[in-house]
Amino acid sequence: MGTVGTLRTAGIGSGDEVIVPAYGNAEVAEAVVQVGATPVFADIDPDTYCIDPAHVAACVGRRTAAVVAVHRFGNQADMARLRELGKRHEVLVLEEGESAKPYEEVARRRAHASYLSGRLNGVRTPVGHERHTYQQYVVRVPGNGRPDRDAFARVLRSKGVDCTVPVKTPVHRMPGFRRDVALPETERAADETLALPVEAAMSHRQLQRMVSACNALGGLLQPAF
């Protein structure tokens, strides 16, 4: 059962509000609208990129019927805090997972991530933990936000590094969902994040080349003032 079915089964519809993350794709917000409810956008934890329970608590109102947490990039949302919040406010807490990968693939991705995190400089590497599966290896490019991140990405691609911007536009900035809300961590993540490849099939030489390409560029970036 997808998000739409789960919301409908729970009786959520017109007049209800559902708190969702703004950092990510629009599918969860679209599901909320499809059942007749209103999405309310919450900020993210800057380390995990998942919905921030503290900001969710600040978003809860008398019409709040549910919260949808989305696990992101192989990071896990803080479900314990969210469920405690849901119990306290009598709000349904749902979670959207990511497609599970075979153990061997996850082990290889973790090994690649460990290699990169130990050698990359000039970018902020992911905050690692034992449950991180590195569905994507997402770094922060310092400097002046989106212009420096996009320039960094263009040069890497020219050197054969297949990097991608994981979230180009937060949902609360998209047509049809635009909201005048302050979500600083979401905005910052959309401007700074870049996903570097960590596919299990990558060779050690490919990883070395990527490190060399990134580190050569890191020193050219100027911090924002």
Whole-angstrom Cα distance, residue 177 to residue 193? Answer: 22
- pTM confidence score: 0.92
Whole-angstrom Cα distance, residue 137 to residue 35? Answer: 34
Whole-angstrom Cα distance, residue 188 to residue 207? Answer: 27
Per-residue pLDDT of the chain (225 residues; tens, 9 = 90+): 688 988 999 899 999 999 999 999 999 999 999 999 999 999 999 999 999 999 999 999 999 999 999 999 999 999 999 999 999 999 999 999 888 899 999 999 999 999 999 999 889 999 977 889 999 999 999 888 899 999 999 999 999 999 999 999 999 999 999 999 999 999 999 999 999 999 999 999 999 999 999 999 875 555 543
The residues with which 95 forms a beta bridge, in sequence order, are: 69
Nearest to 13 by CA among 96, 92, 82: 92
Task: Label residues 107-118 b or e (16+ Cβ within 10 Å = b).
Answer: ebbbebbebbee
Nearest to 31 by CA among 7, 8, 4: 4
Contacts of 116 (CB under 8 A, 6+ apart): 125, 137, 196, 198, 207, 210, 211
Cβ atoms of 149 and 189 within 8 Å: the answer is no
